[in-house]
Amino acid sequence: MPLPPPWLEYLLGHSAYYRGLDDEARNKFERDIRLFFSDNNIKGIGGAEVTWKTRLLIGAGVAAMLHGRPEWEPPLPDGITVYPGLSFDRNYRVEKGNIAGQAPERGPLLIAEESLKQGFADAHDGHNVLIHELAHFFDREQRKVGGRYSRRLGRGRSDSWADIMSREWQKHTQQGSILPAYAALNEAEFFAVTCEMFFENPRPLHAAHPELYQLLQDFYNQDPRQILPDRAG
């Protein structure tokens, strides 16, 4: 069943990624959202219903990350739990602390609704809490399976996922880069922050970390520079 017209209008107004697609790619994007909704549970705390707009933003973020790999299943066996407001704390109290999202190894992905909306409000700021937290799930899954990329990277290289991440993270911690300071916390946060920029402001990331960008391009099987408009333009 196609997405309702108001949903498509909302996507056009809130997803720069969707706006950058041609008609055929938009149809694929919409199909991926429908499939995600049919296979994954999105609930508020206590099982509360989540508005269609919030659900659609979640679906749009997932569809962007899977656009080049539609055969993938998002690694979310326990679904997504949406918290009201901008944040929650380590005791999961609403509007306390400064946690906008969390990707626990066991349990659902947690996300604060207003922070989710802020992530889509500026298409080029390089911040999107949904992409950040979902990236943690992908990173964790990839490390579990070994993550060798010799086939895709070619040129006789067989660097592992962990090797490349470690090398690029150390480069960032020692020399700094365009990535925010939070990326220096550890390799997992470095990868998640990098994914945010990859899907929101890819050109500066490519200039600063070309090898890492190539890894992400191979991993996600897409190049967002071909979809998102050049901010300078």
Rounded to whole angstroms, the Cα distance separating 200 from 187 reads 20
Closest CA to 214 of 157, 176, 136: 157
Q: What pLDDT digit, counting tens, does each position of 115-149 carry?
A: 999 999 987 788 999 999 999 988 888 777 655 44
Six token digits for residue 195 = 């994914």
Rounded to whole angstroms, the Cα distance separating 157 from 153 reads 7
Is the domain spanning 5-121 CATH 1.10.472? The answer is yes
Rounded to whole angstroms, the Cα distance separating 183 from 132 reads 11
DSSP H/E element including 110: strand 109-112
Six token digits for residue 4 = 């309702």
**3-state SS record for 8-71:** HHHHHHHCHHHHCCCHHHHHHHHHHHHHHHHHCCEEEHHHCCCCHHHHHHHHHHHHHHCCCCCC
pLDDT at 233 over 50: no
User: Residue 35, Cβ neighbours under 10 Å: how many?
Assistant: 17
- Start and end residues for every CATH 1.10.472 domain found in the chain: 5-121
Six token digits for residue 147 = 């993550």
Distance of CA 80 to the CA centre of its chain: 14
Q: What pLDDT digit, counting tens, does each position of 72-88 carry?
A: 887 788 899 999 999 99
pLDDT at 101 over 90: yes
Residue with the larger pLDDT of the pair 23 and 177: 23
Q: Are 209 and 177 in contact (CB under 8 A)?
A: yes
Rounded to whole angstroms, the Cα distance separating 32 from 34 reads 5
Closest CA to 131 of 198, 79, 219, 71: 198
Instruction: Give the list of residues 6+ apart from residue 114 with CB closer than 8 angstroms, or none.
Output: 84, 85, 86
Q: How does the average pLDDT of the chain come out, rounded? A: 88
Residue matched to tokens 């704390």: 89
pLDDT at 105 over 90: no
Rounded to whole angstroms, the Cα distance separating 108 from 144 reads 19
Q: Structure pTM?
A: 0.90
pLDDT at 7 over 90: yes
Rounded to whole angstroms, the Cα distance separating 70 from 29 reads 9
Q: Are 26 and 64 in contact (CB under 8 A)?
A: no
Q: Which amino acid is it at 25?
A: A
pLDDT value at residue 152? 44
